[in-house]
Structure 1
Amino acid sequence: MTEAGLIYSALASLLRTLWPGNQKSFDYLFTWDPPHSPLSTFPSIFLVLASYLSIVLGLRAAINKGAVQPPHPNSRHLKTIFVIHNVALSVSSGLLLAAIMEEVVPILRRGGFFPAICAVSSYTPRLRAMYLINYYMKFWELLDTVFLVVKRKPLGFLHPYHHTATAFLCFTQLHGHTSAQWFVICLNLAVHTAMYGYYALMSLKIPCPWKRLVTTAQIVQFILDIGLIYFATYNYFVSTYAPSLPHVGTCAGEESAAVFGCIIIASYLYLFVDFYQRTYSKKTPAKIQRAAIIAAEKTYRTDGLATPTDQEAVYNDLDQKKAAAASKR
């Protein structure tokens, strides 16, 4: 194995310096060794994600009933925490992206694209360690939903589904040892670097014309993901079960991980395209579109936390009102 790159070495050194425990606990946390590693078993991740959904939905219900009084949405302390959260996620995503690319680029140069996404040797120990960090970050990102609820923002289907499914997707790919996952992770980290930076800037009331671009980037990300994942999955299944059919070669990874990845990424593409069409399509009735955009813009101006799911909830409410009005005619 080649020597670690400068960025990887610096990040590893920084994590060890900041880690409050001893070396044994550090190795335990940052080494993927199921079932001993944290969140490396199905019961453990199921418990965490089920608790996340229960807490979020329960907190929202309690706030709506007046049983819990959260801070004011424009509270300075809440806004400060929110800005720190987004800046930290943006910077962390950018650094992890740079570290992964530092490891992947030499692999691409040595063997080309297909071996980089399909060869067993492309699933290196250093990449696995960074995949694990990316996996842990998905649980950090669950706080996005808590902010939405505390700020009394609408909570649609897409937001909790996307966060829950993404955490489980990372879990399946770590278990499945899929060599192609660096491609999907890098695209996701690139989008998150821009997206969380956008949220932070909007919270600080700094003008930023990235709103439509962020959604477009997410859709392009999923299109590229699907192209690569389906290509790799096709090559695996054909080389394994129908080698007489045209294919480039086989791909490393477990079948269940490949199938789950195909399904989840396809669902993301459908949901985000649906959101985009409902937000920007000219076919949307002008009055409904204008009301939804005004509501979404108001959310952006307030705290910068408007995501596809915020506007999705706005549209759902408007669609229901439109249907009710039509039924009375």
Structure 2
Amino acid sequence: MMEMNDTELLPSPFGFERRFDERGAIRWMQENWSKSFMFSALYAALVFGGQHYMKPRPKLNLRLPLVLWSLSLAIFSIIGAVRTGSYMIHILRSSGFRCSICDQSFYNGPVSKFWAYAFVLSKAPELGDTAFVVLRKQKLLFLHWYHHITVLLYSWYSYKDMVAGGGWFMTMNYGVHALMYSYYAARAAGLRVPRPFAVLITSTQIAQMVMGLTVSGLVYRWMQQGDCPSRVDNITWATLMYLSYLLLFSNFFYQTYLRRADKAKTQ
């Protein structure tokens, strides 16, 4: 495993980050990661049962709760993106791109270890996004609930093994969610957000999936040389997940921004 010797570029950890017991967190996840299947099953039952329940009932407004929910997740994601991003920049500048993918220090580094665990745990409460869709009787996309379930399952499945590539996966997701939840909070508050901002968010999501596939491919390639810790089954699931996301988000981009634009021109 590659060592990082340059500590001058390392961002200073806060007290709670330094004191965080990542060994206990990893041990807990190794013992309990399969509970993500229970959360996913319960989520699916509540989502589709909730849609059936709401069908004959009037939709709820929920503007204030939605603003507070989205704003809290936006703040969490912004802080997470800044802290994990600063640590990834340190690894890139001190040890290079390959080390940023293969080194496991993201899981136990003084700055990033807390945010790595916070990331995987956050995938359970983030399922609450769908409650607003159901209760407000909005259109529930397959992409929405499929993405929530698979991210939860893969994140908990991977964290327990500290697989290579996790730093990139988590940091990218924090960054995209920082933009996405900020947009949701602004929209819920009744603010007019320029359309290009929505296009930017979907574009960054697509770029995230492309980078996820790239990282997965590099992990597989470098794993053969013994310094990129992962497993073939994990890389396979990551590749299938990111490929499905790429196709779904690309289709969403086409249907939402390109096809509608063409229809508007022909009318």
Question: With structure 1 as the length reference, what TM-score do the two structures score?
Answer: 0.70
**Corresponding residue for 1:232?**
219
**1:267 alignment partner AA:** S
**Corresponding residue for 2:50?**
59
**Corresponding residue for 2:14?**
9
**Corresponding residue for 2:87?**
103
Q: Indicate yes or no: 2:239 matched with 1:262.
A: yes
Rounded to whole Å, the distance in 1 between the matches of 2:208 and 2:187 is 23
**Corresponding residue for 1:79?**
63
**How far is the alpha carbon of 1:260 from its aligned partner?**
1.0
Q: Deviations over 1:280-328 (max 9, x none)?
A: 33598727998xxxxxxxxxxxxxxxxxxxxxxxxxxxxxxxxxxxxxx
SS in 2 for 1:251: coil
**Corresponding residue for 1:174?**
159
CA contact (8 A) 1:94 1:193 kept: yes
CA contact (8 A) 2:29 2:159 kept: no
1:205-224, aligned counterparts within 5 Å?
Answer: 205-209=190-194, 210-224=197-211
Q: Deviations over 1:51-77 (max 9, x none)?
A: 0110111111011144xx66x32xxxx
SS in 2 for 1:182: helix
**Corresponding residue for 2:178?**
193
**How far is the alpha carbon of 1:130 from its aligned partner?**
2.0
Q: Please list every run of 5 or more consecutive structure 1 residues that lacks an aligned counterpart in the other structure.
A: 17-25, 240-248, 291-329
Q: Deviations over 1:107-152 (max 9, x none)?
A: 2233211122113455435434321100111112111100000101
CA contact (8 A) 2:78 2:174 kept: yes
Q: Please list every run of 5 or more consecutive structure 2 residues that lacks an aligned counterpart in the other structure.
A: none
Q: Indicate yes or no: 2:109 matched with 1:132.
A: no
Q: Which has the larger radius of gyration?
A: 1
Q: Indicate yes or no: 2:255 matched with 1:278.
A: yes
Distance 1:84 1:11, change over 3 A: farther
Rounded to whole Å, the distance in 2 between the matches of 1:164 and 1:118 is 26
Distance 1:270 1:97, change over 3 A: same
Distance 1:11 1:86, change over 3 A: farther
Query: In the alignment, which of 41, 56, 61 is matched to residue 33 of structure 2?
Result: 41
Distance 1:206 1:230, change over 3 A: same
**1:56 alignment partner AA:** V
Rounded to whole Å, the distance in 1 between the matches of 2:266 and 2:162 is 44
**1:116 alignment partner AA:** S
**How far is the alpha carbon of 1:103 from its aligned partner?**
2.7
When the two structures are aligned, how many residues end up with a matched partner?
258
Sequence identity (%): 24
CA contact (8 A) 1:279 1:289 kept: no
Query: CA RMSD, aligned part only?
Result: 3.0
CA contact (8 A) 1:115 1:122 kept: no
Question: With structure 2 as the length reference, what TM-score do the two structures score?
Answer: 0.84
SS in 1 for 2:242: helix
Rounded to whole Å, the distance in 2 between the matches of 1:271 and 1:225 is 14
CA contact (8 A) 2:102 2:227 kept: yes
